[in-house]
């Protein structure tokens, strides 16, 4: 699944070195008596789900801080951060559903500790957590992940495909949702050093990956809230600049959307 990120040869070397260093530092912490980090002691399957939220968020934040230390000025890298809130309802949601954890991308020069509430319009991926690894819990986690991820498509018109994570017990899987199928990674057991390193590797690959490889359409760029009105005076909350190649002139023209006249879900 990491092949989808397709890093260059020089970036592969940087990634390998970064993964090895972060994983080694993490295992040193596990072997010490330090209680500084939330993820140093697996809470166990009898814990409440919200305890696992904190464990996982601490894991992601630890990796992000180490990536920033090593690649603050490396071109093309970004931070992968957990949402500030867990078990929360995004403000741009029209339903009552609550997300366990979400991930978002941030500029490398932002403070890794300055977490924010991640709405669907800003999310990179959704994380669905279950306490146990029974078949029923696994199916429930996947069903909820797929259902909630639809809202990312609704709120991000420039997404070609989506990533997601499911956690059941101590097992983590990554999912890629494309237009006609869902791809699932092998299981990463974060109680074991090998599994922790695999998860570190995934997070580092995401950090080093171009936004196009992460599922974003580079020819569509979302603007911040902009007051652009159509001839009826209607204003969309979300405005996109779309690049289109003009065969006649051999140049690329940029068009700006004004209004959404119909949601895709209403077409079928």
Domain boundaries, given as residue ranges, for the chain: 2-208, 220-266
Q: What is the pLDDT of residue 268?
A: 45
Could you tell me if 204 and 22 are in contact, meaning their C-beta atoms sit under 8 angstroms apart?
yes
| Residue 162 pLDDT | 96
Structural Rg of the chain based on CA atoms: 20
The Cα 172–Cα 102 span in angstroms is 14
Give the pair of three-digit tokens for residue 202: 């995934």
Angle at 164 between CA 78 and CA 261, to 5 degrees: 90
Q: For the whole model, what pTM was predicted?
A: 0.86
- Asked whether the beta carbons of 154 and 125 are under 8 A apart, the reply is no
Please, what sign has the CA dihedral across residues 228, 233, 235, 241? negative
Please state which of the four CATH numbers 2.40.50, 3.90.1570, 3.30.1360, 2.60.40 is assigned to the domain occupying 2-208: 3.90.1570
225 Cα distance to chain centroid: 22
- pLDDT, position 96: 81
| pLDDT tens over the chain, length 268 residues | 665 666 666 688 999 999 999 999 999 888 876 666 656 666 665 667 888 898 899 999 999 999 999 999 999 999 999 999 999 999 888 778 899 999 999 998 876 556 777 789 889 999 999 988 888 989 999 999 999 998 998 888 899 999 999 999 889 999 999 988 999 999 999 989 999 999 999 999 999 999 999 999 999 988 865 554 544 554 556 788 999 998 888 999 999 887 777 665 555 4
């Amino acid at each position: 699944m990491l092949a989808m990120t397709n890093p260059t040869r020089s970036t592969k070397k940087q990634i390998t070195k970064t993964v090895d260093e972060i994983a080694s530092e993490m295992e040193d912490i596990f072997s010490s008596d330090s209680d500084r980090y939330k993820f140093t002691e697996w809470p166990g399957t009898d814990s409440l789900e919200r305890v696992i939220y904190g464990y996982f968020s601490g894991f992601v934040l630890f990796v992000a801080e180490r990536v920033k230390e090593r690649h603050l000025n490396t071109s093309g890298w970004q931070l992968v951060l957990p949402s500030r809130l867990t078990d929360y309802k995004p403000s741009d949601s029209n339903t009552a559903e609550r997300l366990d954890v979400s991930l978002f991308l941030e500029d490398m020069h932002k403070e890794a500790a300055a977490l924010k509430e991640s709405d669907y319009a800003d999310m990179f991926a959704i994380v669905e957590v279950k306490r146990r690894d029974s078949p029923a819990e696994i199916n429930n986690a996947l069903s909820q992940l797929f259902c909630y991820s639809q809202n990312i498509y609704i709120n991000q018109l420039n997404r070609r495909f989506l990533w997601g994570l499911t956690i059941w017990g101590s097992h983590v899987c990554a999912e890629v949702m494309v237009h006609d199928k869902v791809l699932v990674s092998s299981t990463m057991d974060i109680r074991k050093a090998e599994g922790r390193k695999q998860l570190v590797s995934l997070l580092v690959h995401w950090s080093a990956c171009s936004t196009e490889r992460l599922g974003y359409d580079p020819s569509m760029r979302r603007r911040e809230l902009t007051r652009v009105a159509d001839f009826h005076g209607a204003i969309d909350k979300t405005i996109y600049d779309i690049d289109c190649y003009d065969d006649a002139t051999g140049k690329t023209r940029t068009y700006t959307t004004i209004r959404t006249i119909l949601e895709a879900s209403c077409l079928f």
